[in-house]
Amino acid sequence: MKLELTREQLQWKNDFKMFVDEVVAPSAVESDREERISPEIIEKLKEKGYLGSMLQKEYGGMGLDWVTIGILNEELGRGCSSVRSLLTVHGMVALAILRWGTDEQRSRLLPSMAAGSTIGAFALTEPEVGSDAKNVQTTAVLLDDCYVLNGRKKWITMGQIADIYLVFAQCEGKPTAFLVESDAPGFSRTSITGMIGVRGSMLAELHLDDCVIPKENIVGLIGTGLSHVALNCLDYGRYTVASGCVGLGQACLEQSIYYAGQRKQFGLPLRENQLIQKMLTEMAVNVKAARLLYYHAGYLREMMDPDSIMETWKTKYFASRMVNQVASDAVQIHGANGCSRDYPVERYMRDAKINEIIEGTTQMHEVFIAKNMLS
């Protein structure tokens, strides 16, 4: 199989790169400092149609193939991990509605999500529940024509600004998915700040206190929340996080190459030092290896190959570990400067760590991949 981009994919890559270089990357420092993505950046994402990148044209989306979706997330990850995180969680909700929602939910929500006028957020994690998702404590009870939800959700990416949330709750003792709008009675949210990295992702804790939603807001069937709905969401999430890791690794590599050419020690540029050359070589090879992995996973997704799910797990596992090593090496090459906010590699290293936790920790990936091989 030839892992080679088509002419159209190469054109998209060039378009995405130009947008990131002109719009996203220059705002990354501000997003990190202010712990938010500016409304102006979100508006520009809407104008480009990127918030509909994962949806078909019939809903107003871009209709991109999966490899191209990966390329978009790689480029956004190169510019700002927080902006990439917006596309990840927004897309998770949109694709859940696309696959498991009703015709009414699709026609009502997907066009506005493709346009970006409705922002989605994925609400699975709770204060006491992370990887053990089947034991979520939030509850949903059917009363007359409405579901009443009670519980808390925590670490919800884009939770501060989302218009609609895909919330997972126990219904009749079974994990079930629901759509909760931000203006629903009994719903509130509080901002979470001070995170180590990806600080512009606008995290929130959600409060569901006798939160009332129409019974039509259930997604899928009772009991299919994790086995069907969340599985589909998290598969997309892992793919975009993995490709975003490649972009972040590429940013680390580019900054390190530039710095090694500018910085002199013992009368010579750092790039003349063989140990620095070794580090740069390993960085370049590992970034490319992760890129080829997500190209392959994207190709399998496009072919609707069932192996794409496991290949996406492997890709996310490798890419998230890769970017942490690459970011650490980038800081090492920069020395004390790498520990300063004056140099972007300090932010890159902080952002990199988040990727080993979101959409399944590294350890959960190791367990799942091993079990799959041994089954």
Contact assessment for residue 286 and residue 249, using Cβ atoms and an 8 Å cutoff: yes
Specify whether the backbone of 194 is left (phi greater than 0), alpha (psi in -120 to 50) or beta: left
The alpha carbon of residue 273 and the mean position of all alpha carbons in its chain are separated, in whole angstroms, by 36
Catalytic residue among 104, 346, 359, 366: 359
Residues β-bridged to residue 140: 149
Cα–Cα separations (whole angstroms), residue 355 to 164, 171, 258: 24, 31, 25
47 is catalytic: no
Q: At what angle do helices 307-334 and 362-374 cross, to 10 degrees?
A: 140
Q: What angle do CA 70, 96, 362 make, to 5 degrees?
A: 55
Pairwise CA distance, residues 35 & 193, whole Å: 7
Here the tokens at position 219 are 């997604």
Residues β-bridged to residue 169: 176
Q: At what angle do helices 66-79 and 7-19 cross, to 10 degrees?
A: 20
Residues β-bridged to residue 178: 167, 218
Pairwise CA distance, residues 318 & 297, whole Å: 12
Torsion of CA 283, 286, 292, 293, to 10 degrees: -140
Residues annotated as catalytic (active site), given as ranges: 359
